[in-house]
A and B are shown apart, each in its own frame.
Chain A
Amino acid sequence: MIEVKNLHKGFGDVNVLKGITATFKPGKTNLIIGQSGSGKTVFLKSLIGLHTPEEGTISFDGRINTKFTANEKQQWRQEIGMVFQGSALFDSQTVEDNVMFPLKMFTKQSHKEMLDRVNFVLDRVNLKNSNKKLPAELSGGMQKRVAIARAIVMNPKYLFCDEPNSGLDPQTAIVIDNLIQEITDEYNITTVINTHDMNSVMEIGEKIVFLKDGRKAWEGSSEEIFKTDNEAVVSFVYSSNLFKKVREAYLKETK
């Protein structure tokens, strides 16, 4: 379980995160949602240690990440997989080298062992015959698959995804969402996804944390989000007519 207590983070005079307390369920798909500028990315980057909080704690299964020794931090880093918004693939390396990179850096496996593992994860994300291609030769959806493959190649305990379906067409976005959901269930990973895609919220959100102006405004499951009368959540999630109708239908059905 990932537990966040009273997290504060700012840049200069601007306070971005203003005392967030939240928990992310182990082995589940947890979502962080909120409007642009609500602090989602800063929150996610604080969780993975790219930003150091000014106040508050983040603990991973009881281990507080700001209190790690250098060795513990190194160990913890290898328990983390991260899928960045723009995929962040190393553009001078082939797909195979990108996915193999963490193995090369942190394991003592032979080249054949590493290659077998790379082929296994690429196969798992349904990406075949692309080993020797460069990231620039792939579509956005394929790049996301490579990023997911790289993130899971070390068998992480925690998977973080920053807007994994941004820039993708709706069909590919659903495929990527489902892939993350399947991988989460299959490997019992604690997954945290940062998104403002309502399809993701409805489809894969087992636990949802809603941020507004750097504060947690609501927390619950995807079913609870239909029933909530929290004003901030309702105005954000049901801003489109389509989702309004979906909600109305759901409430009607469950009455």
Chain B
Amino acid sequence: MNYIEHIGKYFLMLSRVFRKPQRSKVFYEAFLKEIEDLGLKSLGIIMFISFFIGGVIALQTALNLENPFIPKSLVGFAAKRSIILEFAPTFCSIILAGKVGSYITSSIGTMRVTEQIDALEVMGINSLNYLVLPKVLSTVFFYPFLILLAMFLGVFGGWVAGMVSGLFTGADYIEGIQLDFKPFLITYAIIKTLVFAFLIATVPSYHGYYVKGGSIAVGRASTQSVVWTTILIVIANYFLTQMLLT
């Protein structure tokens, strides 16, 4: 199957996903469960990585700004920009693509190869709507909060790194964070996150739903879904940046 066919099939899938749920109570329960599975269970890894990467960004910036004519507040400024613009929305989304994407593909793919999806269809249930819509809405709803938390912890990690290493003072770092603060940058990061969250839910669902074969095919589909989600996030990141910041 060529790429054009995959793209067409992906959009046809979306047209079946975005329908009114057959039973709102069942949908609401599934939505809450997906928030737990796809969102809350990713909190730990995102918090851990954000804190330490924030620290590394601040340390590396400080180590590369040894010129006495450059104010130390620039460390906080550069760390803030790096974390808000790229690290939190893009890097964290790529991590989530790996963690959540493979989970989505393998869970839906297993349902496909064990005929659970056929069972849903025989009952008269729109299986794509039932399985994928709660995932899409839960990631789009929850990931902005996750990314805001990643921003905060990244910046905080930078401050802790400065305190521990003694490379810059807390006052300089905080001054840098406050310097030329543009709220639109947060909006830009949230817009990116919404697009990435949509991709993280739909691309792996596509790979899982249309898997053919057995357990090896499910494993292969999981790998492919992570690769394709990452590629699409990187491409979307480029175009969104050009559209929103230039």
Contact = CB atoms under 8 A, between A and B. Distances in A.
Interface centre among B25, B118, B121, B122 (most CB of A within 10 A): B122
A102 B125 CA distance: 9
Interface string A62-81: 00000000000110011010
Contact of A104 (B23, B110, B118, B119): B23
A187 interface: no
A14 B110 CA distance: 26
Nearest to B25: A104
> Chain B: interface secondary structure?
helix
Nearest to B114: A86
A77 B124 contact: yes
B26 A84 contact: no
A237 interface: no
A243 interface: no
A112 to B, nearest CB: 15
Contact of B122 (A50, A74, A89, A104): A50
A106 B123 CA distance: 9
Nearest to A77: B124
A121 B101 CA distance: 38
B118 A105 contact: no
B187 interface: no
Contacts of B26: 104-105
B48 to A, nearest CB: 27
A97 to B, nearest CB: 10
B15 interface: no
A161 interface: no
Contact of B123 (A85, A89, A102): A102
B115 interface: yes
Given A104-B23, A105-B23, A84 B124 contact: no
A27 to B, nearest CB: 21
Contacts of B124: 73-74, 77-78, 106
Contacts of A74: 124
A78 B123 CA distance: 6
Nearest to A160: B122
A185 B228 CA distance: 52
Nearest to A108: B23
A50 B22 CA distance: 19
Nearest to A79: B124
Given A104-B23, A105-B22, A105-B26, A84 B115 contact: yes
A65 to B, nearest CB: 12
B123 A91 contact: no
Q: How large is the interface on B (under 10, 10 to 19, 20 to 34, 35 or more residues)?
A: 10 to 19
A84 B125 contact: no
Interface centre among B23, B26, B124 (most CB of A within 10 A): B124
A48 interface: yes
Contacts of A73: 124
B118 A90 contact: no
Nearest to A150: B119
Contacts of B25: 104
Contacts of A90: 111, 116, 119
Contacts of A85: 115
A138 to B, nearest CB: 15
Given A105-B23, A105-B26, A84 B123 contact: no
Interface in B18-47: 22-23, 25-26
Nearest to B22: A105
A48 B26 CA distance: 25
Interface in B116-135: 116, 118-119, 121-125
B118 A84 contact: yes
Contacts of A106: 23, 123-124
Contacts of B119: 82, 84, 88, 90
Nearest to B26: A104
Interface of B: 22-23, 25-26, 110-111, 114-116, 118-119, 121-125
- Give 3 closest A-B pairs by Cβ, nearest first: A77-B124, A88-B115, A88-B119
18 contacts: A48-B122, A50-B118, A50-B121, A50-B122, A77-B123, A78-B123, A80-B122, A86-B114, A86-B115, A88-B115, A88-B116, A89-B116, A90-B119, A91-B114, A104-B25, A104-B26, A105-B26, A106-B124
Given A50-B118, A88-B118, 9 more contacts: A48-B122, A73-B124, A74-B124, A77-B122, A80-B122, A82-B119, A85-B115, A90-B119, A106-B23
